[in-house]
Amino acid sequence: MPTVRENNKRIAKNTIYLYIRMLFNMAVSLYTSRVVLATLGIDDYGLNAVVTSVVTMFSFINSSMANATSRFFSVELSDSGGFNKLKQTFSSVLTVHFLIAILVLCLGETIGLWWLEHEAVIPQERMTAARWVYQISIITSVLTIIQTPYNSAIMSHEKMNVYAYIEIAKTSLKLIIVYLLIIGHFDKLILYAFLTLAVTIIISIVYYVYCVKHFEECRYKFTWNKDIIKHVVSFSGWDLFGNLGNFAKLNGLNIILNLFFLSYVNAAFAISFQVRSVLSPLAYSILLSFTPQIIKYYADDNIQQMQNLMNNAVKFSSCLLFLAVLPIILDTDFVLHLWLGDKVPAFTNIFVKLYLISILMENISNLLFRPIHADGRLKKMTISTFVVDMIVIFSSYFFYKYTKSFPPFCLIMVNLSFIVIIAIKLILIGYQIKRYSIRDFIHNGMLVVFKIFLLSSILPVMTILLLDEGLFRFIILMTVFILSLGFFFFRLALTHQMRIKIIQGISSKLNFGK
């Protein structure tokens, strides 16, 4: 049984791997999204976002199963004598994912296709391209669903370096997509969809080959273990509601905007969503490092160690995310101009600011999901969050229907929903896990994060107020903010023992005292 110190070292090592992957992905994604926007144009960029979001919504079933799969793999791995059951679990779960892929295919070719042909607001001259993109997106989604158990196996084995390498390779392939998109003479929107599918195929093969070679349990053999499947499906069943609401909230809003506004609003929303897609993996990567251990500590009934891990996770993930988010919030116009040039659709600025704020709250919400997920009693949480998410959808729809104004309203509702969801999860954790101290998490986790956010923002805000917009101001802003955040994180987030170890480690590396 690994010691707490060994587990902490593994978490730190995995976090570094995933953080490097995130930085690379962020840089490439920002560049490629700029080129894609310039190549496709605002209208086609928005059209692509609307069409693919429909298919993505059908994949919420897979997201529920992915959470269940990862959870059960981690639990089985913590059982030293459970290899045969682990092997049966993988094969049974992969069988279920094949069925989910078939279900998504059927939904896409019926309900989704009907929406595309009869309800979507798409210029007639672009309908052929929209149909191609839609069909290719379905195939891409099916492959992603089948790939999910292999991803979960890598995560549960805590091979974050492998995951990071494969995702970096995936991001590198996106650079090739950009080049081929520029030189290609075919319809750019259709070509972009085909190239994205090609990348998905390549990465799926890589995940499959690695897992089959390194994890014996990943060698699929048709298995229909009723007990395992019933347990996994029952567990993921309630989670289904939470994912349905979350997917509707994040992807359905783009469809609602399409009903009431012109394509430039969809393009602005898509750009802001792209920013979210680039930055969210930063916090998610850190949570990936903590998640297997949170589940294993719960399975071993070590609630106190899980508590300590949760406190550290909220501080590390929130502050690393804040490091990327605050400069963009404070200097949004400059960043958008630097990133996209002059082709920035109206409302993009406020969409981006609101999405960035939501990312900070979503990070805490996702972390609070971990102990509830480990506990396995999801019913109250998923129903509650589903109701909150549906309120966002319906309030946005009726607001636009009767006012046809202020497109960012939907993201204001998203931010309010995360505040409510965080409160709900805190209450449920305290109720379901009796030895878990919510007061400790708030006092030694969330309040510490809030203090760091507040204090480290003072000098950056002063920089924005005192200097004129431009590259010089942004460089000063970043420098001041990094130093400020680093200082307050060191003073407030780390324990006295951690600070001493860090100072001793730095002194040793620099050969002080010689």
pLDDT at 17: 65
Calculate the dihedral angle through the C-alpha atoms of 474, 479, 485, 489, rounding to the nearest 10 degrees. 150
pLDDT at 186: 79
Model confidence band, residue 1 (pLDDT cutoffs 50, 70, 90): very low
Specify the pTM: 0.70
Q: How many CB atoms lie within 10 A of CB 90?
A: 29
Q: In which element (H, E) is residue 131 found?
A: helix 127-156
Q: What is the pLDDT of residues 395-430, one digit of tens each?
A: 988 998 888 888 889 889 989 999 999 999 999 988
- Nearest to 66, CA basis, from 217, 242, 255, 226: 242
Calculate the dihedral angle through the C-alpha atoms of 408, 413, 419, 422, rounding to the nearest 10 degrees. -110
Output 72 or 353, whichever has higher pLDDT: 353
Give 488's contacts (C-beta < 8 A, 6+ positions apart).
451, 452, 455, 456
Q: What does the chain come to in residues?
A: 514
Mean pLDDT of the chain: 80
d(CA 491, CA 62): 42
Q: What is the pLDDT of residues 98-142, one digit of tens each?
A: 888 888 888 888 888 888 787 776 778 888 888 888 888 888 888
pLDDT at 456: 94
| Assigned token pair, 218 | 């990943």
